[in-house]
């Protein structure tokens, strides 16, 4: 559904990707991992079209829908949280908004003279709303908000009065309601309490679309994903399985690396273990390095320096991971 082919990207003086390749297939649930500042958000932004790669290509299957949740929720005000969530679901939200306006008008004594017209229009709009399955959508929006910890009052109150953390939950509920073909979730677990986190985990487990997600909550991620893509040394390495299954596959020395059809590196992972109480993002120890296509590097000195720095950072992380698993 989504392919990154030999993508290179520099932001400011920092080279984030060097001819990196990966693919997201239908129904896959992928955990995107990498240290702070590795380029996870940048990768989401490139896939969602908010940024373009300097070189290489990000290609999406024709007609697929993408829902992107980021930490940057933007402005929200002037309507209820439910209306804001339903807005993500497309035309039905416009109809829902008119329905609410008409309901308010019907209760307004100043509009008694116009009541016949209002009631006639209400009938039409209500019919449209039913045709678009609006009542079910309203119920689903409320279900998502309740799952993420909203009370009825908060759902129906002005979204603009909510704190940043609650607005973040509204933005997340909006993507969940949208049920796109691909969800891109950048730190969805931030700002969530344990109960909401459990609800979100169940939702994502049952979600039939594809998922690319990054989260500092290792255990949460681990229970949802079936693949890992690691950003390391400006490269993307793909591992099958989640962190737990990668632990068991570490016992199988026959696992080998190969290049996928997209040119991405497919590795059998060796996962560094750490305390089960740890809720940090995983650290990975790839067993394989780039295949032929990806092993090409720019000869530019700044790139070389950057890649070298990346590699040394990576070694440090692995050393730390080894220490923590000892």
Ligand X SMILES: Nc1ncnc2c1ncn2[C@@H]1O[C@H](COP(=O)(O)OP(=O)(O)OP(=O)(O)O)[C@@H](O)[C@H]1O
Binding site for Mg ion (CB under 5 A): 40-41
> In angstroms, rounded to a whole number, what is the distance separating the alpha carbons of residues 212 and 225?
9
Six-digit token pair at 231? 């950003």
Q: Can you tell me which of 9, 40, 227, 287 binds ligand X, judged by CB under 6 A?
A: 40
Binding part of the chain for ligand X, among 37-45, 114-122, 301-309, 315-323 by CB under 6 A, reads: 37-45
> In angstroms, rounded to a whole number, what is the distance separating the alpha carbons of residues 39 and 17?
8
Among Mg ion, ligand X, none, partner that 11 touches (CB below 5 to 8 angstroms by kind): ligand X
Closer to Mg ion by CB, 69 or 150: give it.
Answer: 69
Binding part of the chain for ligand X, among 32-40, 114-122, 201-209, 317-325 by CB under 6 A, reads: 32-40
Binding part of the chain for ligand X, among 6-14, 196-204, 205-213, 221-229 by CB under 6 A, reads: 6-14
Among Mg ion, ligand X, none, partner that 16 touches (CB below 5 to 8 angstroms by kind): ligand X
Q: Can you tell me which of 8, 14, 257, 324 binds ligand X, judged by CB under 6 A?
A: 14
The SS3 call for residue 28 is coil
Q: Is residue 142 part of the contact set for ligand X (CB under 6 A)? A: no
Closer to ligand X by CB, 34 or 286: give it.
Answer: 34
State the Cα torsion 304-308-309-313 to the nearest 10°. Answer: 150
Closer to ligand X by CB, 16 or 89: give it.
Answer: 16
Shortest spacing between CB 173 and ligand X, in angstroms: 22
- Report the 10 Å Cβ neighbour count for 96: 25
Q: Is residue 188 part of the contact set for ligand X (CB under 6 A)? A: no
Rg of the chain over Cα atoms, rounded to whole angstroms, equals 23
Q: Is residue 126 part of the contact set for ligand X (CB under 6 A)? A: no
Six-digit token pair at 16? 């984030």
Among ligand X, Mg ion, none, partner that 1 touches (CB below 5 to 8 angstroms by kind): none
Q: Is residue 313 part of the contact set for ligand X (CB under 6 A)? A: no
168 phi, psi to nearest 5 deg: -60, -40
Using CB under 6 A as the binding rule, the residues of this chain from 290 to 309 that contact ligand X are: none
Q: Is residue 284 part of the contact set for ligand X (CB under 6 A)? A: no
Closer to ligand X by CB, 87 or 187: give it.
Answer: 187
> In angstroms, rounded to a whole number, what is the distance separating the alpha carbons of residues 219 and 93?
35
> In angstroms, rounded to a whole number, what is the distance separating the alpha carbons of residues 108 and 115?
9
> In angstroms, rounded to a whole number, what is the distance separating the alpha carbons of residues 126 and 295?
59
Closer to ligand X by CB, 81 or 171: give it.
Answer: 171
Reduced to 3 DSSP states, what percent helix, strand and coil does the chain have, rounded to the nearest 5?
Answer: 45, 20, 35
> In angstroms, rounded to a whole number, what is the distance separating the alpha carbons of residues 289 and 8?
18
Q: Can you tell me which of 3, 23, 24, 41 binds ligand X, judged by CB under 6 A?
A: 41
Closer to ligand X by CB, 42 or 222: give it.
Answer: 42
Closer to Mg ion by CB, 32 or 132: give it.
Answer: 32
Shortest spacing between CB 16 and ligand X, in angstroms: 6
Q: Is residue 20 part of the contact set for ligand X (CB under 6 A)? A: no
> In angstroms, rounded to a whole number, what is the distance separating the alpha carbons of residues 253 and 241?
16
- Asked whether the beta carbons of 10 and 30 are under 8 A apart, the reply is no
Q: Can you tell me which of 34, 88, 188, 269 binds ligand X, judged by CB under 6 A?
A: 34
- Asked whether the beta carbons of 20 and 65 are under 8 A apart, the reply is no
* List of E strands, 91-152: none
Q: How many residues bind ligand X (CB under 6 A)?
A: 12
Six-digit token pair at 168? 């973040």
Q: Which residue, 164, 186, 163, is CA-closest to 175? A: 186
The residues that touch ligand X, with contacts defined as CB under 6 A, are 11-12, 14, 16, 34, 36-42
């Amino acid at each position: 559904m989504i392919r990154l082919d030999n993508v290179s990207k520099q932001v400011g003086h920092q080279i984030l990707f060097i001819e990196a390749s990966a693919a997201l297939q239908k129904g896959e649930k992928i955990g995107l991992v990498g240290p702070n500042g590795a380029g996870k958000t940048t990768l989401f932004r490139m896939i969602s079209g908010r940024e373009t790669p300097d070189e290489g290509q990000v290609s999406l299957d024709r007609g697929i829908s993408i829902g992107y949740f980021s930490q940057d929720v933007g402005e929200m005000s002037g309507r209820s949280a439910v209306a804001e969530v339903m807005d993500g679901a497309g035309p039905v939200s416009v109809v829902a908004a008119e329905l609410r306006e008409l309901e308010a008008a019907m209760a307004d004594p100043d509009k008694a003279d116009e009541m016949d017209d209002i009631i006639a229009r209400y009938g039409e709009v209500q019919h449209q709303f039913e045709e678009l399955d609006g009542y079910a959508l309203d119920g689903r929006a409320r279900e998502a908000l309740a799952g993420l910890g909203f009370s009825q009052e908060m759902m129906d109150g002005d979204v603009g009065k909510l704190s940043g953390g609650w607005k973040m939950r509204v933005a997340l509920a909006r993507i969940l309601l949208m049920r796109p073909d691909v969800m891109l979730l950048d730190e969805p677990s931030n700002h969530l309490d344990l109960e909401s986190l459990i609800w979100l985990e169940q939702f994502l487990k049952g979600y039939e679309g594809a998922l690319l997600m990054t989260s500092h909550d290792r255990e949460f991620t681990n229970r949802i994903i079936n693949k890992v893509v690691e950003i390391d040394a400006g490269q993307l390495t793909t591992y099958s399985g989640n962190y737990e299954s990668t632990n068991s596959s570490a016992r199988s020395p026959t696992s080998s690396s190969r290049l996928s059809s997209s040119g991405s590196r497919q590795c059998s992972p060796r996962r560094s273990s750490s305390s089960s109480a740890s809720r940090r993002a995983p650290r990975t120890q790839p067993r394989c390095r780039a295949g032929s296509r990806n092993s090409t590097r720019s000869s530019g000195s700044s790139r070389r320096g950057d890649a070298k720095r990346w590699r040394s950072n990576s070694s440090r992380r692995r050393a730390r991971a080894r220490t923590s698993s000892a």
